[in-house]
């Protein structure tokens, strides 16, 4: 099956990744960490499927490669947006976890 993946099948996987990426942006924007994690897990499964098809450079024609790069640019932009939403939350979590350690007495 994997050896017979069509260009359309491969591009559909990339589009699915892009949709999931957009879902992750929306989840991160609303601090919906469960939805973010669920979309991330599904995205991982789609990526595994895509990897099983082999090298997309060899499987896609020139038009397919252009479409793939356009999709990847959207995914990268979404990734940057996700990081903008999640990094402040991670910094707050980090500060909260380290605060008790900072206030603990030293020595022993």
* pLDDT 10s digits, 11-57: 999 999 999 999 999 999 999 999 999 999 999 999 999 999 999 98
Output the pLDDT for position 49.
95
Output the pLDDT for position 1.
42
- Which 3 state secondary structure label does DSSP give 32? coil
Output the pLDDT for position 105.
56
Q: Which domains does the chain have, with CATH numbers?
A: 2-97 (1.20.58.380)
Contacts for 25 with CB less than 8 Å, ≥ 6 apart: 78, 81, 82, 85
In angstroms, the CA 28 to CA 51 distance is: 26
Whether the CB-CB separation of 78 and 22 falls below 8 Å is answered with: yes
User: Greater confidence, 2 or 73?
Assistant: 73
In angstroms, the CA 28 to CA 89 distance is: 10
* pLDDT 10s digits, 52-98: 999 998 999 999 999 999 999 999 999 999 999 888 765 566 566 66
């Amino acid at each position: 099956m994997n050896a017979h993946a069509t260009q359309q099948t491969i591009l559909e996987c990339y589009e699915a990744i892009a949709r999931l990426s957009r879902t992750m942006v929306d989840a991160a924007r609303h601090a919906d960490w469960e939805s973010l994690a669920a979309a991330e897990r599904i995205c991982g499964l789609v990526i595994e499927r895509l990897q099983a098809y082999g090298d997309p450079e060899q499987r896609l024609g020139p038009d397919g490669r252009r479409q793939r790069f356009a999709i990847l640019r959207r995914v990268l932009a979404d990734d940057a947006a996700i990081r903008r939403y999640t990094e402040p939350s991670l910094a707050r979590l980090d500060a909260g976890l380290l605060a008790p350690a900072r206030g603990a007495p030293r020595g022993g």
